[in-house]
A = this chain, B = another copy of it.
């Protein structure tokens, strides 16, 4: 029942669920994959090859983003991008996203509209639509995105297919989001290219299917940090991975920022998460596709030995990686 006072003007409580859904979905153009968009009990998305790739990621206010550091539109881009990166990491092409949004009743309707604008911006960048979802009341903003994708007849590229002798390669930026977070954490707002890399990743979506076409044996989305995620891949594949630090590109921008902050730029590249680059393994004899950079090699697992090494040694430097529930 409406309260005596009525909800505050311009808030989601005033706009109501149905008004909000209308605001967020009206005047949007759905691509061809979207056979039925928002407004019914569920959406319908094309799954041309008879299989659908599906992944869910959740972003929580003040855990995964801060609205004093990122605009709602940037948070929206990020929420969609991190999910689409998971689809690309299977070697699939994204086809749609669904969004579950929980937020306080006092949230400005404008903020939700901007969040949706950012989601749509990233969706359009990937050639897909926001096809459905749900909006509910909560104490804190929680954004759950489910992304769908199509394998276009290819076998999925799993984490478990790397073999001794394979080469390891990455596509996309590494260390940038960690550098941006470090800048923001010190109270700065520039350089904006670095800070924006924390606000939203720009995953190389096309590199996933291209790697699959080129015979990638295993692939993963770099969300926790390069060494952590190569560790997941190596463990799933029962192999060891050695990273050649000289092969890693540390951008001049990161070197400048790290020098200003007294930080280690290689630590950002090796252990910083949230850039959502892709890491994959390819047979030794194959050329890695354009846009991929060879950064290491796969060896047989050593009993009790480290799963991932850098230049032949366990990495002992500083770490930036993400630990859930550990603050």
- Residue of B13, B43, B50 near A54 (CB, 8 A) is B43
A123 within 8 A of partner (CB): no
| A63 to chain B: closest residue by CB | B137
Task: Give bound CA distance, A57 to B41, whole Å.
Answer: 10
Residue of B nearest to A278 (CB): B41
Q: Which of A282-327 contact B (CB under 8 A)?
A: 323-327
Chain B residues closer than 8 Å to A147, beta-carbon distance: 42
Contacting A98 at CB < 8 Å: which of B1, B47, B54, B136?
B54
Q: Which residues 39-60 of A sit at the B interface, judged by CB distance below 8 A? A: 39-48, 50-60
Size of the chain A interface, CB-CB below 8 angstroms: 75
A42 cross-chain contacts in B, Cβ below 8 A: 53-55, 86-87, 89-90, 92, 147, 149
Whether a CB of chain B sits under 8 angstroms from the CB of A199 is: no
Give Cα A238–Cα B47 distance, bound, in whole angstroms.
31
B324 and A16 form a contact (CB under 8 A): yes
Asked if A89 and B41 make an inter-chain contact with CB atoms under 8 angstroms apart, the answer reads: yes
Are B40's CB and A133's CB within 8 A? no
Query: For residue A45, which residues in chain B have a CB less than 8 angstroms away from its CB?
Result: 51-52, 54
* A143-156 Cβ-contact flags toward B at 8 Å (1 or 0): 01011110100001
Q: How far is the CA of A126 from the CA of B40 in the complex (A)?
A: 21
Report whether A7 and B55 are in contact in the complex, using a CB–CB cutoff of 8 Å.
no
Query: Is B89 a contact partner of A56 (Cβ separation < 8 A)?
Result: no
| Docked pose: A100 CA to B79 CA in angstroms | 13
| Cα of A79 to Cα of B36 in the assembled complex, Å | 24
Q: How far is the CA of A63 from the CA of B142 in the complex (A)?
A: 14
User: Assuming the A-B contacts A41-B86, A87-B42, A325-B7, are A139 and B136 also in contact, with contact meaning beta carbons closer than 8 angstroms in the complex?
Assistant: no
Partner of A56 from the list B133, B137, B156, B324 (CB cut-off 8 Å) is B133
Contact A327 B3 (CB under 8 A): yes
Q: Binary interface profile of A, 262-287, with partner B (CB < 8 Å = 1, else 0)?
A: 00000000000000000000000000
* Chain B hits for A146, CB < 8 A: 54, 56, 98, 100, 144, 146
CB<8 Å pairs between A and B, sample of 9? A40-B236, A42-B89, A42-B92, A45-B51, A47-B51, A48-B50, A52-B148, A60-B102, A139-B139
User: What are the 9 closest A-B residue pairs judged by CB atoms, nearest first?
Assistant: A144-B144, A42-B55, A47-B47, A100-B144, A17-B324, A13-B325, A41-B89, A146-B146, A58-B100
